[in-house]
Chains A and B, each alone.
Chain A
Amino acid sequence: MPMRRDATVGLFSVILGTLYGAETLQIRNATIGNPWAPRVFPLGISFFLIALGVATLAIDRKKTAGHAEAKPKPRDPGCIKLIVGTVVLCGAYGFAFEPFGYIVSTLAFMFLLLTLVNEPKRWVSNIVITLVFTFALWGTFVYVFDIMLPSFNMEEIGGWVSWISGGGV
């Protein structure tokens, strides 16, 4: 059965607060002054996250006691595809940006993202937008803001290839 909105938020807060609190206890003692000083503020945050999560869960339980669960709206699979696709492309762009350089990685990223969001059938406009966006921003950064963007890096790509094939790094 899918979870209610408040219950999910409450549970998220409790889990986050607990994990954060556990990690807070792993922080090393300070060598100067109060050894616990770096932990005090995070411990307060952890306590409040757990307390607020518990309160949210309790209120949700009270609110829904004796009431039938409302049928949740079905999620649009098209929208989920867009979100997952965008997240995967963003992650891949992060890994490709420095080894492949700005031009190659941005051309690929923008074209794939536009294909995903603006649909593949508009491939001509997707190519034009990709080219204009990539080169217009490159010109703005390099010539107007004087910011150098990464270029194609064969050495780093070689490192990646050998890492993937299990030979290096």
Chain B
Amino acid sequence: MDTSVISNLMFGFSVAMKWQNFGMMIVGSALGTVLGMLPGLGPSTGIALLLPLTFVMPAEMALITMCAVYYGAMFGGSRSSILLNIPGDGAAVASCFDGYPMAQQGRAEAALAISAIASFIGGLISCVAFVAIAVPVARFALRFGPPEYFVLMIFALAATAAISKEALLRGLISMFIGLALTTVGIDLQSGVQRFTFGTVELQSGIDFVVVIIGVYGLGEILHEYQTLRTKGEAHVQKKFGRIWISWEDWRRCWLPMLRQTPIGFFIGVLPGAGGTIAAMMSYNNEKQLSKHPEEFGRGAIEGLAAPEAANNACSIGAMIPMFTLGVPGSGTTAVMLGALMIYGLQPGPLLFQHNPEIAWGVIASLFLANVICAIINIPLAGLLVRVLAVPPRVLYPLVIGMAFLGVYTINYSASEFVLLTLLGLLGYFMKCYKIPTAPLILAVVVGASMEQSFRQALLMSDGSGAIFFRSSICNVLWLLAVLSIAWPFISDWRQKKKSAAADA
């Protein structure tokens, strides 16, 4: 790490430590923790709902707040896994496996403490790795022209859409629906109207915030109505002893946390592979490495520590492609990338040169938010988990009300309320039919700049598609895109081969 990186980081700390920014960081971390622990509302939905409220803030404060919400949500996601056996979001699923049995055995305090400690350690190590990697990657990204960016976005979208063999086609369909939504409105290069159907409201296009709030917020709640009807209300433990761990617990956990953090971080950097994969992979790895694999699933504390560390490391890793390349690697970072664009900032390598206060301020805020979240989630855990006692039948109408007001603040008009409702129905339809929503969100955020890069590249080459294969960067990215689509099939084939060999 060279000295300029350290001085830039110090500058970032001076930005993040301004009292207004620091105050919003505390508010964001607490809000994120609460949103993260509420089943059905993960970090993506939380950030999407809070995004319009940041419009009144300066850019650096808005980004710092959103990162704090994201971070808080990653910490908070495991609370409901441990206490209710209901994960706050997909990334917290693995925390149910051993966290809930621990709570059932009367060890809820140790479970809550180790999940926060593991999240803190995983997050802190990943922040250091982020600082070390971000600048070299951003420098490398300066070599990218329109064709490279177009192929990079194809790779990011393909990797997100192709999470599993079963969902491959549905993921790709979701991605193309997202791209189709970005083509609505006046075409900026030719001034021609596209898909506006003669309505003035659609001429400026469909704001991606409306899509995000509709699909993630409203769609999620419509889908959760089923759970509300079938599962009723859960009862949550409200009285706790000292939330901390014993020396024996620490002895069992420190190594799993340290060895699963790099895995989570690396998975986070890869577009598409999010916190759920990081947490599940680290849980399975740890089970294989453990001397007592039979204890996993029955309250093994390392079975909770490992996925929690990996999950938080993953959330930091996912920010690298967003900040350095301007390409989001997950639904949540897509929402944050969109926020950068709302402020007229150019995400990608130039962000570090043109807006160092934002790039470094946000990076420094990750270190601080990590500490704040640990403080919120260990000593105050007993207080915060009372939020879980708010029944969903009250919570969901409140979230819907917030979603509508959030959309109103985009352009101070209620004209998009009907669109929001339709997009909520689209989100509901997608969830019912198991169509992943992350590729759609990613496509909505990058779609417009993807088309711009595509057309700029074709202009440069007088319409020849050969420009998309002009450099080794393009070719490597094409290879990665093809590999990411083929990977679920390769992995499936390897699994079958392995089990056939085991049977023989």
Contacts and interface: CB of A to CB of B under 8 A. Distances in A.
Given A52-B172, A97-B408, A117 B194 contact: no
Nearest to A75: B226
B502 interface: no
Chain B: interface residue count, which band?
Answer: 35 or more
Contacts of B230: 76
Interface in B379-418: 391, 393-394, 396-398, 400-402, 404-405, 408-409, 412-414, 417-418
Contact of A97 (B193, B229, B414, B425): B414
A93 B419 CA distance: 12
Contact of B180 (A20, A79, A83, A94): A20
A41 B177 contact: no
Given A41-B183, A86-B400, A97-B414, A56 B170 contact: yes
Nearest to B455: A37
Given A45-B180, A141-B405, A145-B53, A94 B428 contact: no
A58 to B, nearest CB: 10
Contacts, number: 162
B411 to A, nearest CB: 12
A38 interface: yes
For the residues of A in contact with B, the DSSP-based class is helix
Contacts of A95: 418
A108 to B, nearest CB: 12
Interface residues of A, number: 64
A93 B404 contact: yes
A94 B412 CA distance: 13
Interface string A28-57: 111111100110111001001100110110
Interface stretch (B7-15, B88-96, B184-192, B345-353): B184-192
B35 interface: no
Query: B56, B169, B172, B417 — which one has the most chain A CB atoms within 10 A of its CB?
Result: B169
Contacts of B207: none
A98 B408 CA distance: 10
A56 B169 contact: yes
B433 A110 contact: no
Contact of B421 (A9, A31, A91): A91
A146 B56 contact: yes
A86 B401 contact: no
A129 B172 CA distance: 42
Given A76-B230, A82-B225, A86-B222, A38 B173 contact: no
Contact of B397 (A40, A97, A110): A110
Given A56-B170, A83-B428, A91-B421, A41 B176 contact: no
Query: B53, B190, B428, B459 — which one has the most chain A CB atoms within 10 A of its CB?
Result: B190
Given A9-B170, A97-B414, A119-B393, A52 B176 contact: yes
Interface string A81-121: 01100110011011101100000001001100110011100
B222 A37 contact: no
Contacts of B169: 9, 52, 55-56, 59
A27 to B, nearest CB: 5
B179 interface: yes
15 contacts: A12-B433, A13-B176, A28-B193, A30-B189, A42-B194, A90-B404, A91-B417, A97-B408, A109-B401, A110-B401, A117-B225, A117-B394, A118-B391, A118-B394, A150-B414
Given A30-B187, A33-B189, 9 more contacts: A34-B463, A38-B194, A45-B180, A52-B176, A56-B173, A86-B222, A93-B404, A129-B397, A141-B409
The 7 tightest CB contacts between A and B, nearest first, are A94-B417, A30-B190, A97-B414, A90-B421, A113-B397, A38-B187, A82-B225
